[in-house]
Structure 1
Amino acid sequence: MGRPRTRRLVKAVTDTGRPLRVLIAVRLSRLTDDTTSPERQLKECRQYVAAKGWIEVGVAEDLDVSARTTAPFDRAELGSWLKHRADEFDVIVFWRLDRIVRSVSDLNDLLNWAKKDGKHLASATEEHFDTSTAIGYIIAILIAWVAEMESQATSERTTSMHADFIDDGRYRGGTPSFGYRPVLITDTCWVCADAGVACRHVGQKRLEHDPVMAPLAQEVVRRIVEDSVRPMAIVKDLTARKIMTPDDHHRITLKDKQGKPRKPKGIAWQVGNLVLMLKSPALMGYQMRRDVLGVDQDGKKVYDKPEIVRDAQDRPVLRAQPIIDPVTFQRLQTKLEEMNKKRGPSKKSNALLLGVLKCGVCGLNMYINMGRTYPYYRCKSYSSGASCGNPNIRRELAEAFLLDLLLGEFGDIERCERVYEPGEDHSDELEQVQVTLDDLTGLLTKPAYKQGTTQRERLEHQIERLAEREAVLEAKPVRPSTYRLVGTGQTFRDYWDSLNTEEQNIYLLDHGVLVTVKGGSQAPEWSYELSDLHDILGSIDPGIDVGEYMRAQDEHARQNRESVG
């Protein structure tokens, strides 16, 4: 059954009286500065086409594309030809089968498509690979099995090599961590220089501070930790300043096949991606690892959460100069966690009580309506066509109630700020210095470092430097990080008046202020909830004793009642 169908296929292609039209397919999994494979593939394919007397009508070039995870129909260039331009060619020529498929299932899909559309496949370097004959199909499938097994073996070797790179803190390709860039070590790396030991990483690619991205990462951290700027606002600012994302910035440092810098993809800043980068301990220079959990239904690897790589003594492996120190990193995580709990509005607020004012009948939010004569808040149930019947409340009346409540309760309290005072603890560095000293002094008895040799002089110099550093660190006091309260001279009322409507609305939402009303403007019935009273008072004066404050307020109210009585 297979042989007659194959013969009819070939006859349909070749009996037209014209040379066959050829699409050349070129693919490469990873493009680097040293890559020559695309040019070599194209050259040999063109030589093969010329020898056959065929005509080249196009080239489908997919670079940085893995055949193991991306089927031919899903690739940008080849997929476009297969799905939209199949009538423009008769044969697909490739350098080797593994340039077009890496799995038997993908090959079967491609062969079935070729049968249906009257095409065939040819390899420029694999003899007898010709799908225009029955034996050619068999050879194609056998080669595909070999290619798939080779791909699996290559994947296992690559995984093992990457594991070794990770344990050693070496750069293993891809976009580096936020703030870093890969460099070839020709003299000494920062890690070894900082430890005062001879560098064993010469000839390797390691990470160092990127002159553009490292200051940017430090700026972002400072704005969040010290100025309480939200990641969303930072993303908007970076976008407005037209600053490249780390992915695009790394991309333009690479070169294309002509040796020119690659163009950025125009990847946009995203809040989620920025937060992930800021939560990574890689900012402290630590080596990170993600273990493979398995593969998904598309054959792509599924990874576990990133974790810090540790040495035999359970210490983090330091692979590069830290962007920020551990204390700042912890402050950053605390700040991000606090911001994540806040409930700011999803869009710009033009009314004070959006998300704050609730309907006293059905419990839904009340929204602003500008009205013909005056603005008012209306229950959301009106827009659903099934109104709960609660009348509207005038905007000025509702907002006045809330302001009287808030400012009457807290308006005259002076605002205080918590000023962070970083501590001083060099125990980690001291431990590292002492471990290195032990290692180096153990070399003094080795024959390679006998007295009078250059190696001995260098070793003694390193030991001397480390001993001096050890003495300095041991002399430094250990002081924990603390917060100090500083009065601003500004009351909460003054602070409130300095905010615009959007900022006031965010403050109310962040601190859990809820107001409920029913009965309309003529006879409103109010209730309110200050669920985060500790948080409200803490935002005004972090040092205030909430219990004592409430007792004082109750005593003040009792005295007022007695005076009236």
Structure 2
Amino acid sequence: MQARSTDTHAAIYCRISRDAEGDGEGVERQERLCRELATRLGLNVVDVYTDNDIGASDRTSTTKQRDAYARLIKDARSGRFHHILAYSNSRLTRRMLELEDLIQLHEQSDVIIHTVASGDDDLSTSDGRMVARIKASVDAAESDRIAERQKAAFLHNALQGKPKLQHQRAFGWERDGITVNPEEAALIRAGVERLKQGESVTTIARDWERQGIKTAAGKDEWPWQTLHRVLVGWRTAGVRTYKREPLRDSTGELVMGTWEPIISLKDREDALAMLRKRGLKKVRQGKWYLSGMVKCGVCGGKMYGQLGKTRTYTCKPGKGHNVITADTLESEVQWEVINHYVDRRTQGRDKDAAPQQDEEWPKQNELDAANAKIEELMTAYHSNELPSSVAFPMIDTQEQIRQQLRKERDDFLAQRAEPKTPLDLETWYDKFLLEEMAAIVPNEEPDSFDRKTLAMRQVVETVIVKKGLRGRAGWGDAGAKRIEIVWRG
């Protein structure tokens, strides 16, 4: 039996892995039993260290650190107490490496560990340390079994479409994760329509902040990632996710949640396509109306906006051999858009235009094959033809192939995406004449900038800038003559 320290100062450590109700009842019960043990042993409890709703195994998320346990060990090393009481060994740790730390703690500081349910292991002897290590290995194995059961239960619930249990409610739904919040759902649908028109997530975020719309956590600011997830996350379209990826059944079909979706999958795809198109064109909010649209008439390279004493569009591939002031270019293009629009209205071209045909993605057969292979492997696993150790590594390989193909498909579609709910050019034209005239204000409100830019991009394919003349010959109307607009069909 290990020698008993003459110091009666003791500390209690309590921990519970999952506190579903959040009331801490489990750790309170552990503390009560430990205090009863301390009384029987004649120990004086000087402090209680509690980690609630945190695991102690190697499978515990690194984001859930046991801060109380770390303080317990630190205070024990400093000599504040020489006895540690816990309900069981597994409450202290399920990690073999942490057990070795406790053994070292006893050797260096003469700290003795007492438990209510697991007894006292004599860490001063080789047999005692062996017993403690055996118990720890059993606890670690039990932790692995619990994790496997939980993983199977989580997957089972996910395949049934049940919502994930979350401490924070999802914006757009009530606390149960199923009932839709009408006011927030209306905001989401309106935001998605704005994305489909070509507006940015940042623009909508600033607009919501000006309106005083708070996040589900009650915060005033809307970070880009938060709003992007709210507007076009899989949950918003009613799709159940697993490990942050959309879940598919054995046939490769998306698993739909038991909650009511706020937007359709088609709305989500259209909104994401327009966002990707903005990214491909490198649209710069609030500064450059023609970003990604201007080409050099000398070398054919792209011309980029540059800030200096004067805002300009410059040909970087040609090392600055072609430059035009931004005000001249943007103003001229804006007026040409108006004239072009008037011509189209007069000639009735908008009404007679043939609908654009969707181009098929050339690798669809490869994606279908990957889906079929995953379905085949899942079927073999469920029918016990393949063990999980064989089936799931093969499924992971096919899933990587499928994800890469989906990314290629999304990029392909994004390059060909057009606004699904286009702005009314007639309304924009009238508003422009009445309120804006030819002035382009670089620092205007983002939503106004986005709408003007979108209106121009609906009819302008490319703006070609020819080489300018030197000296005064290049001033005035000569700048407008350098510009050639390629219109959309």
For this structure pair, what is the TM-score category when the shorter chain's length is used for normalisation?
A: 0.5 to 0.7
Equivalent residue letter for 2:30: Q
8 A contact 2:159–2:249 mirrored in 1: yes
For 1:174 and 1:357, the matched residues in 2 are separated by: 47
Is residue 222 from structure 1 mapped to residue 190 from structure 2 by the alignment? Answer: yes
Moved more, 333-342 or 64-73: 64-73
Change in Cα spacing, 1:489 to 1:363, as seen in structure 2 (3 Å) is closer
Unaligned runs of 5+ in 2: 352-419
Q: 2:274 aligns with which of 313, 338, 345?
A: 338
Is residue 349 from structure 1 mapped to residue 319 from structure 2 by the alignment? Answer: no
For 2:156 and 2:340, the matched residues in 1 are separated by: 62
Q: 1:377 aligns with which of 312, 315, 320?
A: 312
For 1:226 and 1:376, the matched residues in 2 are separated by: 29
8 A contact 1:25–1:60 mirrored in 2: yes
Change in Cα spacing, 1:110 to 1:356, as seen in structure 2 (3 Å) is farther
Could you list the per-position Cα deviations for residues 448-480 of structure 1 after superposition, in whole angstroms to 9, with x for gaps in the alignment? Answer: xxxxxxxxxxxxxxxxxxxxxxxxxxxxxxxxx
| Structure 1 match to 2:201 | 231
Unaligned runs of 5+ in 1: 184-206, 250-265, 291-302, 382-386, 418-482, 535-545, 547-565
| SS of structure 2 residue aligned to 1:148 | helix
8 A contact 2:315–2:322 mirrored in 1: no
For 1:140 and 1:529, the matched residues in 2 are separated by: 82
Is residue 173 from structure 1 mapped to residue 203 from structure 2 by the alignment? Answer: no
Is residue 307 from structure 1 mapped to residue 247 from structure 2 by the alignment? Answer: yes
Change in Cα spacing, 1:104 to 1:217, as seen in structure 2 (3 Å) is farther
Q: CA deviation at 1:126?
A: 1.5
For 2:424 and 2:244, the matched residues in 1 are separated by: 47
8 A contact 1:24–1:94 mirrored in 2: yes
| SS of structure 2 residue aligned to 1:93 | strand
For 1:80 and 1:168, the matched residues in 2 are separated by: 40
For 2:137 and 2:483, the matched residues in 1 are separated by: 71
- Structure number with larger C-alpha Rg: 1
Moved more, 495-504 or 144-153: 495-504
8 A contact 1:23–1:60 mirrored in 2: yes
Q: CA deviation at 1:127?
A: 0.5
| Structure 2 match to 1:38 | 27
8 A contact 1:310–1:317 mirrored in 2: no
| Structure 2 match to 1:272 | 225
The structure, 1 or 2, with the larger RCO (C-alpha pairs under 8 Å, 6+ apart) is 2
TM-score relative to the length of structure 2:
0.60
8 A contact 1:225–1:332 mirrored in 2: no
| Structure 1 match to 2:153 | 161
Change in Cα spacing, 1:226 to 1:31, as seen in structure 2 (3 Å) is same
For 1:512 and 1:54, the matched residues in 2 are separated by: 82
| SS of structure 1 residue aligned to 2:307 | strand
Q: CA deviation at 1:341?
A: 1.3
Change in Cα spacing, 1:243 to 1:30, as seen in structure 2 (3 Å) is farther
Equivalent residue letter for 2:60: T
Is residue 87 from structure 1 mapped to residue 49 from structure 2 by the alignment? Answer: no
8 A contact 2:295–2:462 mirrored in 1: no
8 A contact 1:283–1:323 mirrored in 2: yes
| SS of structure 1 residue aligned to 2:78 | helix
8 A contact 1:391–1:520 mirrored in 2: no
The structure whose residues are more often strand, as a share, is 1
Change in Cα spacing, 1:484 to 1:32, as seen in structure 2 (3 Å) is closer
Equivalent residue letter for 1:42: E
For 2:220 and 2:51, the matched residues in 1 are separated by: 20
Moved more, 173-182 or 42-51: 173-182
8 A contact 1:23–1:89 mirrored in 2: no
| Structure 2 match to 1:538 | none
Moved more, 144-153 or 222-231: 222-231
For 1:232 and 1:484, the matched residues in 2 are separated by: 19
| SS of structure 1 residue aligned to 2:49 | strand
Could you list the per-position Cα deviations for residues 476-529 of structure 1 after superposition, in whole angstroms to 9, with x for gaps in the alignment? Answer: xxxxxxx99997754747548658545168446896655557668736698768
Q: CA deviation at 1:209?
A: 0.8
| SS of structure 1 residue aligned to 2:245 | coil
1:474-485 residue pairs with structure 2 within 5 A? none
For 1:337 and 1:515, the matched residues in 2 are separated by: 26
| SS of structure 1 residue aligned to 2:166 | coil
| SS of structure 1 residue aligned to 2:51 | strand
Q: CA deviation at 1:329?
A: 4.2
Equivalent residue letter for 2:312: Y
| SS of structure 1 residue aligned to 2:144 | helix
For 2:212 and 2:115, the matched residues in 1 are separated by: 46
Equivalent residue letter for 2:78: D
Equivalent residue letter for 1:337: A
Equivalent residue letter for 2:148: E
Q: 1:365 aligns with which of 299, 304, 324?
A: 304
| Structure 2 match to 1:24 | 13
How many residues align? The count is: 390
For 1:94 and 1:390, the matched residues in 2 are separated by: 77
For 2:10 and 2:33, the matched residues in 1 are separated by: 17
| Structure 2 match to 1:460 | none
Is residue 75 from structure 1 mapped to residue 58 from structure 2 by the alignment? Answer: no
| SS of structure 2 residue aligned to 1:29 | coil
For 1:275 and 1:162, the matched residues in 2 are separated by: 26
Q: CA deviation at 1:380?
A: 9.7
Could you list the per-position Cα deviations for residues 272-310 of structure 1 after superposition, in whole angstroms to 9, with x for gaps in the alignment? Answer: 344445445654656x353xxxxxxxxxxxx47322559
Equivalent residue letter for 2:258: R
| SS of structure 2 residue aligned to 1:365 | strand
8 A contact 2:463–2:485 mirrored in 1: yes
| Structure 1 match to 2:117 | 125
For 1:21 and 1:516, the matched residues in 2 are separated by: 81
Q: CA deviation at 1:224?
A: 2.0
For 1:401 and 1:30, the matched residues in 2 are separated by: 65
Change in Cα spacing, 1:376 to 1:57, as seen in structure 2 (3 Å) is same
Is residue 60 from structure 1 mapped to residue 28 from structure 2 by the alignment? Answer: no
| Structure 2 match to 1:458 | none
Change in Cα spacing, 1:165 to 1:355, as seen in structure 2 (3 Å) is closer
For 2:22 and 2:150, the matched residues in 1 are separated by: 20
Q: CA deviation at 1:220?
A: 0.9
8 A contact 1:26–1:38 mirrored in 2: yes
Q: CA deviation at 1:142?
A: 1.4
For 2:61 and 2:101, the matched residues in 1 are separated by: 9
Q: CA deviation at 1:140?
A: 2.2
